[in-house]
Amino acid sequence: MKCFRLQYTFVKVVALAAILFANSSCKQETTGEYHEFHTQGHVEVVATVGMIADIVREVGGAHANVSALIGEGVDPHLYKPTRDDVIKLQRADMVFYNGLFLEGKMGDILVQLARTGKPVYAVTEAILGDAEYVLVNDSEHFDPHVWMDVRGWIKATEVVVDALVTFDAMHRELFEAQGAAYIEKLKTLDEYTKTVMKTIPEYQRILVTAHDAFNYMGRAYGLEVLGIQGISTESEAGVKDIENLVDLMVERQIPAVFVETSVADKNVKALIEGASAKGHDVIIGGELFSDAMGPSGSYEGTYIGMIDHNVSVIARALGGEAPAGGFQGRLNLE
């Protein structure tokens, strides 16, 4: 894999480039250091969030032991690594993280690890050169929630495949085959998502959530997304923000809002109460997975299950149609 070069004009790109340059460091030159250990067993991989860990498990299969630092219902924007986390990162053969400042409080640790020669990869590396793809908010903050667009997560999968092949060329054919099989599943999920979202009446394709985690989904699948908080949950929604959103909900007769598993629901409840006070009843359409997947070992605890759940819940709450079993018949939404 070639060292990554950034060509952005965004103000904050300098800081991002520093992290990526440190973390790439022409990683193909470091593989020999780990090769002897790896050929005796499994690659020990640490991923920051569950969505990334799921990719590595799919691509690495039996040749990768994968753990995620940030688990079910935990907000990565606010997560502070523990001493045990640092030890896990140091002991890992490879580290995968999202990038785009999702893991803001872990940035320094990731840079330090990369400088030691450890293979550290941002899975968003493949889309960073496309200034038209990466979303940026009004404050010029990158939107890291790329996994909400299945096509974006296909690009992330390609990064993981390349990284594992670079680290362990002996299993190139296996990693490439397993990666290709997983990408085919994702392409099918992408088509399913497009089909289901189109069943929502056009005037009701408005997704109101706790924070701006769904903009990539909105752009990819034709939804207008309104988040109470900004891209990062570190930002606070003011009273005026909530009042303005209440007025818009009443004006456009939005029927449902959504809570998130990793974000407090107090602001969503304030929206419902505000709309009710103005004579418009709004329901909670369901609970969505935004920055974290479902329980470990469950269908919703996989990336495909996470997206399947979200798509099905959103469509059904906004007047569209989705089978109770979802994409693979594994949901239970009745």
- Residues 185, 209 within the same domain: no
pLDDT in tens, 73-112: 888 888 999 999 999 999 999 999 999 999 988 989 999 9
Give domain status of residue 8, yes or no: no
CATH number at residue 241: 3.40.50.1980
Give domain status of residue 28, yes or no: yes
pTM of the model: 0.86
- Residues 123, 55 within the same domain: yes
Q: What percent of the chain has pLDDT over 70?
A: 84
Q: What percent of the chain has pLDDT over 90?
A: 68
Domains in the chain, number: 2
* 8 A C-beta contact, residue 234 and residue 77: yes
Domain that holds residue 163: 13-192
- Residues 50, 153 within the same domain: yes
pLDDT in tens, 11-43: 344 344 444 444 443 343 344 444 444 445 689
Three-state secondary structure call for residue 203: helix
Give domain status of residue 181, yes or no: yes
* 8 A C-beta contact, residue 202 and residue 223: no
Q: Which residue is it, tokens 């680290």? A: 167
Give 14-21 contacts, CB < 8 A, sequence gap 24+.
Answer: 16/99, 16/100, 16/101, 16/128, 16/142, 18/111, 19/99, 19/107, 19/110, 19/111, 19/122, 20/99, 20/122, 20/125, 20/128
